[in-house]
Every structure is written in C-alpha cells, then in structure tokens.
Amino acid sequence: MADLHEDLHEFTALELHQLLQRGEVTPVEAAEHFLARIERLDPEVGAFAHVTPEAALERARVVARDVAHAAPLWGMPLADKDLHPRAGVATGFGSRAYAGHVAEESDDMVEAVDAAGAVSLGKTATPEFGLPSYTEPLSGRPARNPWQVSLGAGGSSGGAAAAVAAGMLPFAPGSDGGGSIRIPAASCGLVGVKPSRGRVPAGSGIDRLGGLGVVGPLARTVADAALLLDGLIAPRGYPARHPFALRAPGEDGPFLGAAIRGEGRVQVGVMLDTPWDDFADIRLDQEARDALDRAISLLDRMGHGVDELPAAPEPGYPAAFRTLWQAGAAGIAVPGESAERLEPLTRWLVARGRERTAGELAEALGWLAGFERRTIARFSEVDVVLTPALALTPRPVGWYDAEDAEENFAQQVRFTPYTSFVNVAGLPALTLPVHDTEAGLPMGVQLIGRPGGEATLFALAAQLERAARRGRRRPPVW
C-alpha cells in the first residue's frame, strides 16, 4: 500500500478514479500526493499561478465526508485555469492589472467541477486574459514544457498542460476560444478536446461573442479526457440556471465508453490548407508533417478510408477573425488606472477593438456565420477531418515578439493555423500525440468531427492511441 500511495502520479486519471471508488485511496491522500508533486516540480515548470493547499485539503475532507461516491469526478484532484474565478481565491487572469485580486464569486466551470466532486489544488497559469497562444505572462513565470524546459507549454491553457504533462495533476480543465486547449495539449504531448459549441453547460460558447470560447479537458490519455469531459457535462447537483447540455442524436451515452471501446471504421478527410494561407506564410515543419504522415499510415493500416480534401481558399477569413478577436478584447474590464499595466499585445487588441464600429463587427459576424456553413458543408462527405495539430514544433520561451503586436499575431498564426477556424465553425476537435521527433518531443495531429460528433472522435482517437504504441512515455521533468 505504501508504494501505491507513493506512485499515484503514475496511474492514469481513470485508474486513479477507480482506486478512489474502491476506497484504496482517499480524496485527502490523493490531494496530498499531488500537492507534494507541485511543491517539488513547479518551481522548474511554472504551471501554477496559485496553489491552495489548505483549501484543497479541507475540500478533500468535505468530499470524503459529504459528497456521494457517484459524483462523476469524486475525489479527483485538478486545478482551475486562472481565467476562472473561485470565490475567496486570488484570481489574476494572467494580468498585472489584477495583481492581488481575490474573487468574490465562483464562475460556472468552477461550480461545475465542484458539483462533480472534484478537488481543486489551485489556479493554473494563463497568459493575460487568455488571449495569446503561449503562456508567458509578465505577471508571473512562463509555463515551461516538461519535455524540454527551454520551450514553452503553449497557451492559453499552458499552465494546465504543463501541470498534467509533468504529473502534477492527473488531468485538468481548460478553455478554448481559438485553440487554447489544443495548442498546449499538442505542445506538451497530451490529449486535448475542444467540445462542440453548446456541449458543456458551464462553458457552452453560446454566450460568447461569435460563439468561440468553450471549456474542455487536457489529459494524458484519450480515456482520461473522456472521463473529465463527461464530468464537466453532467455533474450532479449543477445549478438549475444551467439546464442544458447539447448531445447529438445517437450519441447520448457517456463518452468514456466510446474512448474505452475504440470501435468503428470511418471516412477521414486530410486537410492541408488553412484559412490563414493568404495572411501569413504558413509552412509545415518536417516534424509536423512526419506526425501527420504517421497518423495517415496508421489510419490506412486500420482500414479507415483516407483521402485528401481539395483546398478551399477563404481569403476573407483573416480580416473577419481579427475583427472578432479584437472586438472580444475591447470588453475587457481593467480596474482603475491599471490599463497602463496591460501587456503590449493586450493593449493593441483592446485599442483596435474599441476602434471597431458596430457595422464592422456585424459584417465580420455575418461573414464568419457564412464561413461556418461553408466549412460544415465542405466536411460533410467525411466523418472526421485530419490536420496537423501545429504547423511548427513547440516554440522556445521568449520566441514571440513582446513589443510588435502585429508581428506577434502573425507569429501565432504561423505556429497554429489549424485551430481557430474550428471554434468559428463550432465543431468538436481533439488533438493527440502520435509521433516523436529525433529530440524526443511528442508531435500530434488534430481530429475534427461533425457537429456533436465527440463520440466518433473519442473512438477514432482511441484506435490511433493504441496503434501508435507510444506507451506511457514520461518527460524528463517527471
């Protein structure tokens, strides 16, 4: 039993969940173990903005005493992304403008994981207001990649990804408005899931400008990601003001079953073009191409139909998406005179957003609505679309231009041109590692499903996971 408790981080989240359910490990023991991992490893990794050991252990005792074991995430340790306020806990939104801010109320996702019986250990790091695709906020430390700490963990859920990849958490929730789950998951060799718009009540995206932002899981295995997503969708006792969770017809069962079974044959379309092709010089690193080719080979070997999709240029996309991204930033609330403490990229986005007219925003929203329809129609002949997860290998810490906002935005586009359009289209997507570079860095691919098609993604990802035979690889930080 001693060895069991010393090695809890070696178990998958699903295995840990089973240990908790059988009473072989208590919620307090699980929390203590991962808090110790955080204390030892996070100084090097920078995954956490705040750690709350006292509150976590008290929460674990409450869960053990008062929460039914049937709660879907009973006793499972995780952490809140620093964009999601938790009452009584410092919440900085990755910004110097919110230094010392303590939240008075918890937001929807925090309430959802609590209702599911989870135990939060603190707040994972995020870039300022979650806007960039890397996590190097001036308010704190950069979130470093556990596979090579000179590289970044991606963003904006970079802290969550770094924590899970380093074994400081079994899994973690994140949020994704343009790739913010999938980018760090791909950077850190994890499974990351962006659900369909409307799938998760606590982060449906329906109430966001353009419907971009949703919440979802980051995990080390496909089954672990499904376990967390199921818990986010249907926590027990979730507030009545969130009564809906969309599920596609025929896919009403828990996603964990699809992830464990990993059954079925599908038609896969390979997409190499991006809607950013007319905006930036999009080039695939050889390592990204190798990962894609490996996935294609594995899918073909398993009997899936695989064909390349014809290119479909969308020259209007960059201007429309930039307008929407800037307009979203325009509504950021900055207390008092703290605007001067915003980072250059944020100041640029806020300023440009406030210059936009209502007519410009309406035009952009209308164009993107048409893009959504065209994209769904383009993908309608296949069950799943396969793309590279990232165009480049994980970027070094300090690689992004900190002063020139236009160049910074272009750098982000060149790094991750395959993610934001999925948010615009409201489709589900999953990234998973399938290949390793010569330097030992995991590289992944992205699977995009039909509206409401998460079960198909989990089933196909489970097959790829098995076929890739990567085993339980651990980063050097482990």
Q: Return the number of other C-beta atoms located less than 10 Å from residue 337's C-beta.
A: 8
- H or E stretch including 335? none
Counting every residue written for the chain, the total comes to: 478
Find where tokens 């482990």 sit.
478
CA distance 193 to 77: 19
Select from 248, 224, 311, 298 the least CA-distant residue to 268. Answer: 298
Cβ pair 125, 48 in contact under 8 A: yes
- What are φ and ψ of residue 338, in 5° steps? -75, -5
Pairing assessment for the beta strands 384-388 and 442-449 based on DSSP bridges:
antiparallel
Long-range Cβ contact pairs of 3-9 (< 8 A, separation 24 or more): 5/29, 5/33, 6/33, 8/33, 8/34, 9/33, 9/34, 9/37, 9/167, 9/168, 9/170
Active-site residue, 156 included: yes
Q: Which of 139, 156, 157, 187 is catalytic?
A: 156
Q: Which of 95, 180, 187, 204 is catalytic?
A: 180
Active-site residue, 81 included: yes
- H or E stretch including 432? strand 429-436
Looking at the chain, the number of H-run helices and the number of E-run strands are 16, 13
Cβ pair 75, 20 in contact under 8 A: yes
**Among the residues of 216-343, which ranges form H helices?**
222-233, 255-261, 286-301, 317-330
CA distance 136 to 454: 31
Q: What is the dihedral of CA 69, 75, 78, 84, to 10 degrees?
A: 60
- H or E stretch including 345? helix 344-355
Cβ pair 36, 46 in contact under 8 A: no
- H or E stretch including 134? none
Select from 9, 346, 378, 17 the least CA-distant residue to 169. Answer: 9
CA distance 460 to 478: 28
HSE-CB for 330 with a 13 A CA cutoff? 17
Residues taking part in catalysis: 81, 156, 180
